[in-house]
Chains A and B, each alone.
Chain A
Amino acid sequence: MHVEHQQGVGQQRRMDVDPVSRVTGGLALRTAVDLERGAVLEAKLLATLHRGYEVILEGRDPRDAIFVSSRACGVCGGAHAITSALACEMTFGVAPPPLGISARNWLSAVENLIDLPAHLFLRAGPDFSEPIVRHTNPELWARALKTAAPGIATHGFRLVSDIMTAMTAFSGSLYREALVMTRVAREAYVPAGGKYPHPQTIVPGGLSATIDPTVMNLTLLRVTKFFDYSRRVAAVWDDLVDFLHEADPSFREVGAGPKNFLDYGQWDDPHAYDGTFENAPAWGERRWSTPGVIVDGHLRTTNLHHIDSRVEEFVDHSFYEDWTTGGGNGFPTDPGGNEISARHPWNKRTLPQPGSPDLNGRYSWSTAARWDGLGMETGAGARMWITALAARQPHSRLVQSTGHSLRMALPQAALPAGVAEWLVPDTWNALERNRARAYSLVHSTLVAYENVVNGLDLLRQGGASAGVFTPYEIPRDNRVGVGFWGGARGATSHYMEIDDRVIRNYQILGPSTFTASPADGAGNAGPCETAALATPLLSTEQPERCIDLLRAIRSFDPCMACASH
């Protein structure tokens, strides 16, 4: 943390945190803080990376889309590959056979088993580790040393301080276990995915993978290792979050934000998904996690058409020219006839304009994605929250959506069978984001398990159900297609327009384009910026480290490679 431009009044200072470490991609923070009052006065998030993927894809063969666009993000390349495949399929008019859909489902869920522990213990975890808590809040450390950890029967740690010690970077047992478990999950990914990150088997029309009992077995036996691990992770975060909330109620304000969420849903019903835009509301609601928008805690829609048609991207504070002055692409509606604005991705052109950051002007390489003009949170919290409120989950035998919680039944492994229940929280803040992410590890484990088991059934049935690929022709006419999907960080969409078998326009919207965005045209800050502004600085020592500010930012698990491609 660098302190500079010290201003006259009290402890008000400008702070540059460049880079923000333990996030993915290039992220810098420009803030003004009042260390005496412990308040954040200004917070601007700078995406400091731009590669021009959308421009590179223009004018290429549509078959290049998947393997080029997936490389926008090396943390959730699988999510981008599948999203791109869905966009191709809608454009070409093709859908995979049931086993192909199942396999994509389990790959996508297994990707979360890599990504979620990596965030919880490699990126966010060290903020709550012994070395950091001891230095920034010695009184909390003293209290942790005397506080029993209620989840001992599940996770095995006696005291809350033992959990904090275990979260220490590299030397801590939870940190090292997370590294090992992400490798177990990678081993579950590659038998059908080929490699990770950037799978080699995702193609339009399904999968280029040979699915046989060995592939299923390699996958299944690794997924089941997460039955116990995910429960332990949830128990660890339960104890940590509850301890901090109780020790200092002000922690409820750290990273606090409005309850606005957006998700496209994930994991298709192998017998419902048909790849058409027209039927998106129907197959969308059949997904393992339900698409939806929540505004102020209330579920507004679960209809993919309504979710998508109100999405807009602003570049008022981003290093791009405004394409709307040039007329954009001129789509007044989406393919379903729903009205869309000139700022909708269908109408967007990518016109980069590099510049030096100006906090009152353009300062980020990320655009500002909004829904109906509102900043939206994406990610594990959004996915869990929408799925819990929507009370759908049509196929799951293990996950029950109650309208106010997700009840997840875990099969017996070394731990006896049991239930993990994620309750929609009263307050929404950095700690609850991490708790939701921990429970979403349980959720993703069960989704992966159910889809592998489904896949085994389809394989046993043989015939057309056991195929993984449907042949396609690339049409010559002018066509559009979109993929709605998600990764560990949530909502991901790719928009493709082709003409004469060439990509005319390709737009990528990552989850962090919503969360880690700069201010929009109306001057409203991005969700991450908003949460930073709401954060009280609670350190009793080393306040200049602004650890709570960083906890708030990291709780979103920003991925700047997704945000700015």
Chain B
Amino acid sequence: MINDERLVHVFWLSGMSCDGCSVSMLGASNPSVEQLVLQTIPRLPRIVMHHPMLDDDSGHDFMTAYGQAVDGTLGAPYIVVLEGSVPDDQSIQQGAYHSALGTNADWPQGLRATGAPDRPVRVSDWIWAMAPGAAAFMAIGTCATWGGIPAANGNITGSMGLMDYLGASYRSARGMPVINVPGCAPVGDNFTETLSEVLLFLEGHRALPAFDGLGRPEWMFDQTVHRHCPKAGYYEEGVFSHEPGDDQCLVEIGCWGPVVQCNIVERGAINHIGGCMVAGGACIGCTMPGFPDKYSPFYKAPPGSAISGGISRVTGGGIRRLRRLSMRKGLHTGIADTAHKVPSGWGLAHNGDKNPIDKANGFFYNKLQYRGSVNHAKRNKQQPLPASRDILKQMGVDLEASVPVLGERVKTREEL
């Protein structure tokens, strides 16, 4: 335990940000921000959240704790969370800024302020001042982690990610480099889960969570988003969407999923619902350091897809046909096989062993399936058909005569 009161301050800093990461965090439920603040999770310390979008206080009342953190008079450890990239505004004209928070009157007493008391303080100043004393420094979202859109080609603010700004040698007061939870905007749970893991580590309850070579939670970002994509099976079978709105693999309309590390399709955008490709949207690489420039123009097929997509069309075509054959077998129950009839009024016909190709396929398929085991399908052949099968006919029920028809009758496939 790092402090007796089990209290940790969390300071939120917004650099070149759209506040979308804050909005994501508020949407998280594993854990939720209210669970963290109200300390309803066993072993987690009480969080005092200093967040400009949420705080009761404004102005100096709100900023005082920021200065105290740097001055070392806070009386409890603190974590800093940066949302938004860091502008290169240290060297522009005195007193000018691209992103500011508080005034010189709020600046730590132990550090020298330049200019009048009402001069805005650059967020980039708070970052370097708060970094050394922070128990952990977390970057949330693709702007804070890698630079994101404010750092895109053509920007005039010189924006960069937190690691660029602090340098590779940065270590927090507890010895950790910058922790990165990317995404534009990130899955809210990815952030709150990482924050709670970090808190549990700081409290001495857990080992240091596994972070990868870029400081990302490894268990969230070690796989490509394609591997868990619900449309990945289409890719495997070489079936692709031709235009937005189609249901198949989205690679050819601009999806970068096969080469992007992200977990949104298995985690969902929120509570296992949604996620880019789950909904039918192409991945534009928004969790990656190269976002946006290395994935644009958006909704244009990635160059690599010409080769890999072509290969998958060839191999996938064969695989898809073989799978269809096997699937047909599974569409029939044992009774349907014995009766050579599917008990469906919707039109599915039983084509079982009438077709010689199916017959041959069935023979070898069974051989393989039961090799080293027992072919229990043989027992089905001895099983008589159930006596009460087709009960309505046996009872002589005349559906046309006895059932009142509500509205228009659904037409059979043949009638249509």
B217 contacts partner chain A, Cβ-Cβ < 8 Å: no
B94 contacts partner chain A, Cβ-Cβ < 8 Å: yes
Max chain A C-beta neighbours (<10 A), residue from B62, B149, B268, B278:
B149
| CA distance in complex: A118, B101 (Å) | 23
Q: Closest CB of chain A to B133's CB: distance in Å?
A: 22
Q: Which chain A residues lie closer than 8 Å to B94 at the CB level?
A: 356
| CA distance in complex: A277, B399 (Å) | 58
| CA distance in complex: A416, B118 (Å) | 55
A-contact bits for B276-320, CB 8 A (1 contact / 0 none): 111111111010000010001111100000000000000000000
| CA distance in complex: A22, B50 (Å) | 11
Q: Closest CB of chain A to B244's CB: distance in Å?
A: 3
B256-273 CB contacts (< 8 Å) to partner A: 264, 268-271, 273
Q: Contact at B60–A190, with CB atoms within 8 Å? A: no
- Contacting residue for A17 out of B21, B37, B59, B277, CB 8 A: B59
Q: Which chain B residues lie closer than 8 Å to A58 at the CB level?
A: 154
Q: Contact at A63–B299, with CB atoms within 8 Å? A: yes
Q: Contact at A207–B245, with CB atoms within 8 Å? A: yes
A77 contacts partner chain B, Cβ-Cβ < 8 Å: yes
- Contacting residue for A22 out of B26, B53, B102, CB 8 A: B53
| CA distance in complex: A550, B286 (Å) | 36
B-contact bits for A3-28, CB 8 A (1 contact / 0 none): 01100000000111111111111101
- Of chain B, the residue at the smallest CB distance from A188 is B273
Q: Contact at B32–A21, with CB atoms within 8 Å? A: no
Q: Which chain B residues lie closer than 8 Å to A357 at the CB level?
A: 95, 120
Q: Contact at A198–B185, with CB atoms within 8 Å? A: yes
Q: Closest CB of chain B to A545's CB: distance in Å?
A: 8
Q: Contact at B98–A354, with CB atoms within 8 Å? A: yes
A197-216 CB contacts (< 8 Å) to partner B: 197-201, 203, 205-211, 215
A76-124 CB contacts (< 8 Å) to partner B: 77, 100, 118, 122-123
- A51-B159, A55-B154, A208-B244 known; A194+B95 contact, CB < 8 A: no
Q: Contact at B97–A354, with CB atoms within 8 Å? A: yes
Q: Contact at B19–A71, with CB atoms within 8 Å? A: no
Q: Which chain B residues lie closer than 8 Å to A71 at the CB level?
A: 18, 20, 148-149, 184
Range of interface residues on B (Cβ < 8 Å): 35 or more
Q: Closest CB of chain B to A137's CB: distance in Å?
A: 15
- Of chain A, the residue at the smallest CB distance from B241 is A208
Q: Which chain B residues lie closer than 8 Å to A468 at the CB level?
A: 244-245
- A171-B38, A197-B23, A218-B273 known; A21+B101 contact, CB < 8 A: no
Max chain A C-beta neighbours (<10 A), residue from B22, B281, B296:
B281
Q: Contact at A26–B154, with CB atoms within 8 Å? A: no
| CA distance in complex: A66, B284 (Å) | 12
Q: Which chain B residues lie closer than 8 Å to A198 at the CB level?
A: 20, 184-185, 286
A183 contacts partner chain B, Cβ-Cβ < 8 Å: yes
Q: Closest CB of chain B to A85's CB: distance in Å?
A: 11
Q: Closest CB of chain A to B367's CB: distance in Å?
A: 39
Q: Contact at B93–A355, with CB atoms within 8 Å? A: yes
- A21-B53, A190-B279, A208-B299 known; A52+B20 contact, CB < 8 A: no
B214 contacts partner chain A, Cβ-Cβ < 8 Å: no
| CA distance in complex: A53, B150 (Å) | 7
A196 contacts partner chain B, Cβ-Cβ < 8 Å: yes
- A1-B58, A51-B16, A356-B94 known; A190+B269 contact, CB < 8 A: yes
Q: Contact at A187–B19, with CB atoms within 8 Å? A: no
Q: Which chain A residues lie closer than 8 Å to B245 at the CB level?
A: 100, 206-211, 467-469
Q: Contact at A194–B23, with CB atoms within 8 Å? A: no
| CA distance in complex: A467, B52 (Å) | 43
- Contacting residue for B59 out of A19, A64, A196, A469, CB 8 A: A19
B-contact bits for A165-200, CB 8 A (1 contact / 0 none): 000011100001001001100110111111111111
- A17-B59, A193-B279, A469-B243 known; A179+B270 contact, CB < 8 A: no
- Contacting residue for A1 out of B54, B61, B101, CB 8 A: B61
Q: Contact at B154–A187, with CB atoms within 8 Å? A: no
Q: Contact at A187–B97, with CB atoms within 8 Å? A: no
B16-71 CB contacts (< 8 Å) to partner A: 16-24, 26-27, 29, 32-34, 37-38, 52-63
A297 contacts partner chain B, Cβ-Cβ < 8 Å: no
A43 contacts partner chain B, Cβ-Cβ < 8 Å: no
Q: Contact at A22–B155, with CB atoms within 8 Å? A: no
A75 contacts partner chain B, Cβ-Cβ < 8 Å: yes
| CA distance in complex: A46, B276 (Å) | 36
Q: Contact at A55–B155, with CB atoms within 8 Å? A: yes
B173 contacts partner chain A, Cβ-Cβ < 8 Å: no
Q: Contact at B101–A48, with CB atoms within 8 Å? A: yes
Interface residues of A (CB under 8 A from B): 1-2, 4-5, 14-26, 28, 30, 46, 48-53, 55-56, 58-61, 63-64, 66-68, 71-75, 77, 100, 118, 122-123, 126, 131-132, 169-171, 176, 179, 182-183, 186-187, 189-201, 203, 205-211, 215, 218, 319, 352, 354-357, 467-469, 471, 545, 550, 561
7 closest A-B pairs by CB = A74-B20, A190-B274, A356-B95, A2-B60, A208-B244, A200-B281, A74-B18
* 6 A-B contacts (beta carbon < 8 Å): A16-B103, A21-B62, A61-B296, A190-B275, A191-B273, A467-B245
Q: A52-B156, A210-B246 are in contact. List 15 more A-B contacts (CB 8 A).
A: A16-B103, A19-B52, A19-B58, A21-B55, A61-B297, A61-B300, A63-B296, A64-B296, A75-B20, A196-B23, A210-B279, A354-B98, A469-B244, A471-B243, A561-B18
